């Protein structure tokens, strides 16, 4: 029989039977090695025995003493009170739940050790429900020679049991250490300890360890592990990109004349950031391998034009392009824009959406299949079964900040034709902090439009309680009578389109009554897309002054004359979402304003969140604060993005390691390529997170 080692099943450890193994496997623990990566949440100091006379309330200590008195008291409920003394002082242990047998253990004169929180009770210092042990005549309190780890709460498993299992795992690790996968050179440069050193330290820290840095997750040993984990995920994700580079794509090299003409005839000049990003895209698509590029640009930075230029290059090079948006509303807006721009150039787009009439859809599908349609614009319907492109060369996906790596992959495969993959351009206005982008988008190249078109005035934002609604309505009246337009966005009601709609309807009625001289429109998620389209057109054409909307207008809607944005129940929304909504105004020459209405009372955290928006118009600043306040999972929508649940790393805390992770990944591929699959496997399992290792 093989000796127990790190890859043995947990049942190989003493004390683990099938039942416990099952409980552990629910926690994702299968092999002995997995225990090593289940890191303590915090540590307790049971290494020092504190004299009873030296105790301070508010600390957590190990004490020892002789029972002076044990009694059951009735103070509302039954209490077992055990008074201990050691000559220097006294303390009371208090138990609310106790058995008769426990009660009888505490005979006067018995020596007891206890560990727990010290607090001030009615009769001096006390410990409520401390862990305790009855000591034999010559026995001492068990003083531990390391700090005591406290593992994450795991239902059905006692801390003591986990400590014992982890200690067994550490012993096995020391007997047969796992391979060190970071080359010495890399480790030394980053001053990182060896893997085995880090693991030993974290499960059994010496008594003089810096508890503060450990509880902040900032200890070099914790960073060492977080680093390797982030590296593993980065390598796995960037493998996808490397593989894509080996795929074939049509090199889109022809022409550029039509695109140049298009740009020359625009009523404005491209910003230098737009020009730079266009260049980055063009140099990608002229290669015979699929582009996988993400364009990040704040709301209003002009991403659509950039996409349009890329599409023209594709069309001129003889392939089809597809532009997909996440909502019908936004897809329709793109369809209108591209129709206006491209019809004159001889390549009118076709429209494809889920809610389209059957006959129109059949015609669209036919023209996509025959290749007559050079550009298709639509929603996810573009990539459903039954849609066949003759020769799809470029896919543009707009506003897909919630679009995960798995979906990106699926789309790539969907568009693939006879071993050819389309080029892919993903655009998002949710600027995520750079380091986080490195972790989330390691499969993409990233371009940033970090400049707004000239002349934009920053939107002025105020935060008001909603009992000031009357003043706000008056503001809407003034702005609209001066020829401007306003959005009134209604409370977001999680997961209920019906409630969303009722709230929007109530505000709509209120505004119609309060503003009889103005034309007020309503748009919400439950309307048919033709109705939405009609309302949107009326607002775009200026026939409506006020548009009451649910958050369906969150992404992409572009009406330059709108200069006032009112958002109700702003306290319920995420910062990035509010920033997106606010980005609907400030698109024209007029000074624009945004009013964030909240319901009283507003907590401290909510207050500081809204203050972030009041104080900054910069999407990157907002995103960074959002990350700090909500964490990356919320921000990226962990589920949708396919971002992993990390075992050790915490992106909010450890994202700062990403630049080094990226450099190390490149170095490893050059000097220690054989360790790449091993690192991926250690942290993400046998298949690697994103397919073959
Ligand atoms: P977003 O990046 O949020 O998708 P859009 O592409 O909708 O932004 O552009 C916002 C508005 O700015 C549009 O009306 C667009 O025509 C205009 N725009 C784009 N680029 C420029 C530019 N270089 N100069 C002036 N206006 C521009
Ligand atoms: Mg847009």
Asked if pLDDT for residue 638 goes beyond 50, the answer is no
DSSP H or E stretch at residue 567:
strand 562-567
User: Residue 634 — very low, low, confident or very high, per pLDDT cuts 50/70/90?
Assistant: low
462 vs 603 pLDDT, higher one = 462
CB-based burial label for 453 (10 Å; 0-12, 13-18, 19+): middle
pLDDT at 692: 46
The first and second tokens of residue 255, run together, are 């022409």
User: Residue 639 — very low, low, confident or very high, per pLDDT cuts 50/70/90?
Assistant: very low
Architecture in CATH for domain 460-616: 3-Layer(aba) Sandwich (3.40)
CA 304 to centroid of ligand 1, rounded, Å = 7
| Ligand 1 closest atom vs CA 270 | 23
Looking at the chain, the domain(s) classified CATH 2.40.50.140 span 48-143
CA 428 to centroid of ligand 2, rounded, Å = 8
Asked if pLDDT for residue 255 goes beyond 80, the answer is no
pLDDT at 406: 67
Cα 194 from Cα 655, distance rounded (Å):
21
Q: Residue whose CA is closest, atom 14 of ligand 1? A: 558
Name the fold adopted by 48-143.
Answer: OB fold (Dihydrolipoamide Acetyltransferase, E2P) (2.40.50)
| Ligand 1 closest atom vs CA 399 | 4
Asked if pLDDT for residue 492 goes beyond 70, the answer is no
Q: Which ligand is nearest the CA of 449, by number?
A: 1
Q: Which ligand is nearest the CA of 587, by number?
A: 1
The first and second tokens of residue 325, run together, are 């948006």
Name the superfamily (CATH) of residues 248-449.
P-loop containing nucleotide triphosphate hydrolases (3.40.50.300)
Summarised one tens digit per residue, pLDDT across range 91-137 is 999 999 999 998 999 999 999 999 999 999 887 899 999 989 999 88
Q: Residue whose CA is closest, atom 13 of ligand 1? A: 302
8 A C-beta contact, residue 132 and residue 93: yes
Q: Residue whose CA is closest, atom 18 of ligand 1? A: 302
pLDDT at 640: 42
CA 534 to centroid of ligand 1, rounded, Å = 23
Looking at the chain, the domain(s) classified CATH 3.40.50.300 span 248-449, 460-616
Cα 114 from Cα 131, distance rounded (Å):
6
Note residues around ion ligand 2 (Cβ under 5 angstroms): 556
Which candidate, 686, 679, 674, 532, places its Cα nearest to that of 225? 679
CA 299 to centroid of ligand 1, rounded, Å = 9
| Ligand 1 closest atom vs CA 305 | 6
Asked if pLDDT for residue 685 goes beyond 50, the answer is yes
The pTM of this model reads 0.73
Q: Is 589 in the pocket of ligand 1 (CB under 6 A)?
A: no
Average pLDDT over residues 218-245: 91
Q: Residue whose CA is closest, atom 15 of ligand 1? A: 302
Summarised one tens digit per residue, pLDDT across range 528-566 is 878 888 898 899 999 999 999 987 665 557 788 999 999
Summarised one tens digit per residue, pLDDT across range 649-673 is 888 788 889 999 999 999 999 999 9
Q: Is 550 in the pocket of ligand 1 (CB under 6 A)?
A: no
Cα 294 from Cα 282, distance rounded (Å):
13
| Ligand 1 closest atom vs CA 583 | 3
Q: Is 586 in the pocket of ligand 1 (CB under 6 A)?
A: no
User: Residue 693 — very low, low, confident or very high, per pLDDT cuts 50/70/90?
Assistant: very low
8 A C-beta contact, residue 111 and residue 63: no
CA 297 to centroid of ligand 2, rounded, Å = 9
Summarised one tens digit per residue, pLDDT across range 399-448 is 776 556 666 676 667 666 667 889 999 998 776 777 777 887 888 888 99
| Ligand 1 closest atom vs CA 301 | 2
Summarised one tens digit per residue, pLDDT across range 305-345 is 999 999 999 999 999 999 998 878 788 889 999 999 999 88
Cα 202 from Cα 15, distance rounded (Å):
23
Q: Is 574 in the pocket of ligand 1 (CB under 6 A)?
A: no
């Amino acid at each position: 029989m093989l000796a127990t080692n790190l890859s043995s099943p947990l049942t190989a450890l003493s004390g683990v039977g099938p039942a416990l193994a099952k409980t552990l496997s629910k926690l994702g623990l299968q092999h002995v090695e997995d225990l090593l990566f289940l890191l303590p949440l915090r540590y307790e100091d049971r290494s020092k025995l504190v004299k009873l006379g030296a105790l301070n309330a508010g600390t957590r200590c190990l004490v020892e003493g002789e029972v002076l008195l044990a009694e059951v008291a009735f103070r509302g409920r039954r209490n077992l009170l055990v008074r201990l003394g050691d000559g220097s002082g006294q303390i009371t242990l208090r138990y609310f739940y106790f058995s008769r047998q426990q009660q009888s253990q505490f005979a006067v004169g018995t020596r007891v050790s206890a560990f727990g929180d010290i607090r001030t009770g009615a009769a001096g210092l006390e410990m409520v429900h401390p862990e305790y042990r009855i000591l034999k005549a010559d026995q001492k309190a068990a003083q531990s020679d390391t700090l005591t780890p406290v593992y994450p709460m795991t239902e059905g498993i006692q801390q003591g049991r986990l400590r014992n299992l982890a200690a067994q795992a550490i012993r096995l690790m020391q007997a047969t250490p796992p391979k060190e996968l970071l080359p010495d050179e890399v480790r030394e440069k980053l001053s990182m300890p060896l893997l085995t050193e880090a693991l030993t330290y974290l499960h059994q820290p010496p008594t003089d360890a810096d508890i503060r840095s450990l509880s902040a997750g900032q200890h070099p040993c914790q960073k060492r592990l977080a680093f390797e984990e982030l590296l593993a995920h980065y390598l796995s994700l960037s493998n996808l990109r490397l593989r894509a580079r080996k795929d074939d794509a049509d090199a889109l090299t022809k022409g550029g004349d039509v695109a140049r003409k298009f740009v020359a005839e625009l009523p404005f000049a491209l910003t230098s950031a737009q020009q730079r990003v266009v260049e980055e895209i063009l140099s990608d698509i002229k290669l015979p391998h699929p582009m996988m590029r993400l364009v990040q640009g704040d709301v209003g930075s002009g991403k659509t034009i950039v996409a349009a230029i890329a599409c023209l290059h594709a069309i001129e090079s003889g392939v089809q392009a597809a532009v997909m948006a996440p909502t019908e509303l936004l897809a329709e807006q793109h369809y209108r824009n591209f129709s206006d721009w491209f019809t004159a150039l001889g390549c009118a787009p076709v429209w494809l959406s889920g809610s389209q009439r059957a006959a129109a859809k059949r015609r669209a599908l036919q023209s996509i299949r025959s290749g007559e349609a050079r550009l298709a614009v639509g929603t996810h319907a573009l990539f459903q079964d039954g849609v066949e492109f003759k020769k799809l060369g470029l896919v543009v996906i707009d506003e897909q900040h919630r679009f995960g790596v798995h979906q990106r992959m699926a789309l790539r495969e969907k568009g693939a034709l006879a071993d050819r993959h389309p080029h892919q351009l993903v655009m998002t206005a949710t600027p995520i902090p750079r380091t986080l982008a490195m972790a989330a988008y390691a499969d993409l190249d990233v371009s940033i439009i970090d400049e707004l078109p000239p002349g934009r005035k920053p939107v002025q934002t105020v935060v008001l309680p909603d009992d000031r609604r009357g003043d706000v309505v008056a503001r809407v009246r003034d702005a609209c009578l001066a020829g401007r337009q306003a959005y009134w966005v209604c409370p977001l009601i999680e997961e209920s389109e019906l409630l969303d709609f009722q709230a929007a309807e109530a505000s709509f009625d209120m505004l119609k009554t309060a503003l009889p001289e103005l034309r007020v429109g309503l748009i919400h998620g439950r309307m048919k897309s033709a109705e939405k389209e009609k309302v949107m057109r009326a607002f775009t054409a200026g026939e409506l002054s006020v548009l009451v909307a649910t958050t369906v207008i969150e992404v992409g809607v572009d009406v330059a004359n709108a200069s006032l944005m009112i958002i109700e129940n702003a306290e319920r929304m995420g910062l990035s979402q509010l920033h997106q909504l606010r980005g609907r105004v400030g698109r024209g020459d007029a000074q624009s304003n945004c009013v964030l209405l909240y319901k009283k009372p507003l907590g401290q955290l909510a207050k500081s969140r809204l203050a972030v928006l009041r104080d900054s118009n910069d999407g990157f600043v907002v995103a960074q604060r959002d990350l700090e306040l909500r964490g990356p999972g919320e921000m990226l929508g962990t589920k949708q993005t396919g971002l992993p649940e990390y075992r050790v790393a915490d992106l909010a805390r450890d994202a700062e390691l990403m630049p080094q992770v990226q450099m190390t990944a490149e170095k490893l591929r050059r000097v220690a390529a054989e360790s790449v699959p091993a690192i991926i496997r250690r942290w993400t399992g046998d298949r690697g997170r994103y397919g073959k290792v």
